[in-house]
Amino acid sequence: MPLFIITGCYSATAAKGMIADPSDREAAARAIMEAAGGKQHSFYVTTGETDWMVVAEFPDGVDLIPALLVIGASGAVSNIKTVRAYTGAEFKAAQVKAGKIASAYKAPSK
């Protein structure tokens, strides 16, 4: 199944809530990923441009969208970004396929 890397930032309201009543955000992330039909592989609190990162597996990217809608609508996070991640084996298979189809492409002439 495809892997996705999801990142985002906590809102000021969420930060205040976490200070007032600390909670397990990894468990919260896992619950919404599983409710949407995915499997969370890992959760990290990060520094830099984003505050957290999840690596999750979903049957298809469209299956991830409901979870992202719920998370975004909560107001607790912003700047949600998702990228599809490929394993080394998947990338190698893509290279092999590229070699097989390369002759079908004609680049524009100068």
Q: What is the pLDDT of residues 21-65, one digit of tens each?
A: 999 999 999 999 999 999 999 999 999 999 999 999 999 999 999
Say how far apart CA 64 and CA 52 lie, in whole Å: 17
| Residue 110: pLDDT band with limits 50, 70, 90 | confident
Could you tell me what percent of the chain has a pLDDT over 90?
95
Say how far apart CA 110 and CA 100 lie, in whole Å: 25
SS (H, E, C) 36-81: CCCEEEEEEECCCCCCEEEEEECCCHHHHHHHHHHHHHCCCEEEEE
Domain boundaries, the chain: 3-104
Q: Which of these CATH numbers, 3.40.50.2300, 3.40.50.10190, 3.10.105.10, 3.30.70.920, describes 3-104? A: 3.30.70.920
